[in-house]
């Protein structure tokens, strides 16, 4: 699969997602990494195109964009963002806080929709929960730590994951239709 990287789109996507995570108590670096990953791979599955083409590597706690640290450092250096260290349940959390609005005109409507859908679907989840969810992805499972996760793995079949919301809905439906398992 031939994928071109657009630093302009990646920078704006980082700023947009970081801004949208400001209202999310668990919206630190881990969640930022995973939202970027799921947005790229979700959009690829839906439209057979990536958004920014940023490369993701397998890390112990899930996928992370290779370009994120240099881009983040440049944003901080230029004054376009700040890095704020917060306490989250007794653990340090590093939150990227944009000081300017992202330029959304670099994205198509479909790209923005993919980003927004991922943000909505991961809302309310902690960094640990989104990391565990990312570990279900074939690309993460099939690569070694430090290796690049091929975009082509987005199309591999995998066991459907269950989020807390889908588990609650499944239990409710089972109860409603009399399929609830009781012992």
**pLDDT > 90? residue 168:** no
Q: Give tens-digit pLDDT for 36-45.
A: 999 999 999 9
Q: Give tens-digit pLDDT for 51-98.
A: 999 999 999 989 999 999 999 999 999 999 999 998 877 778 899 999
How large is the angle between the packed helices 68-77 and 7-20, nearest 10 degrees?
80
The rounded distance, in Å, linking the Cα atoms of 57 and 37 is: 10
Choice among 107-116, 131-140, 154-163 with the minimum mean pLDDT: 154-163
Residue 135: Cβ within 10 Å count: 15
Its pTM stands at: 0.83
Q: List the domain boundaries for the chain.
A: 7-156
């Amino acid at each position: 699969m031939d994928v071109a990287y657009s630093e302009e789109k990646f920078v704006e996507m980082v700023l947009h997602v970081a801004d949208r995570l400001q209202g999310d108590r668990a919206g630190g670096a881990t969640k930022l990494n995973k939202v970027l990953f799921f947005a790229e791979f979700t959009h690829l599955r839906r439209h057979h195109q990536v958004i920014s083409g940023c490369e993701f590597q397998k890390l112990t706690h899930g996928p992370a964009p290779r370009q994120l640290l240099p881009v983040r450092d440049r944003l901080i250096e230029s004054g376009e963002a700040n890095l704020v260290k917060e306490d989250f349940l007794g653990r340090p959390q590093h939150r990227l806080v944009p000081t300017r609005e992202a330029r959304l005109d670099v994205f198509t409507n479909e790209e923005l929709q993919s980003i927004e859908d991922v943000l909505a679907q991961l809302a309310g989840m902690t960094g640990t929960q989104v990391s565990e969810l990312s570990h279900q992805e074939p690309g993460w499972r099939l690569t070694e730590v430090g290796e690049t996760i091929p975009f082509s793995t987005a199309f591999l079949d995998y066991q459907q994951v269950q989020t807390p919301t889908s588990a609650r809905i499944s239990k409710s439906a089972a109860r409603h239709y009399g399929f609830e398992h009781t012992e």
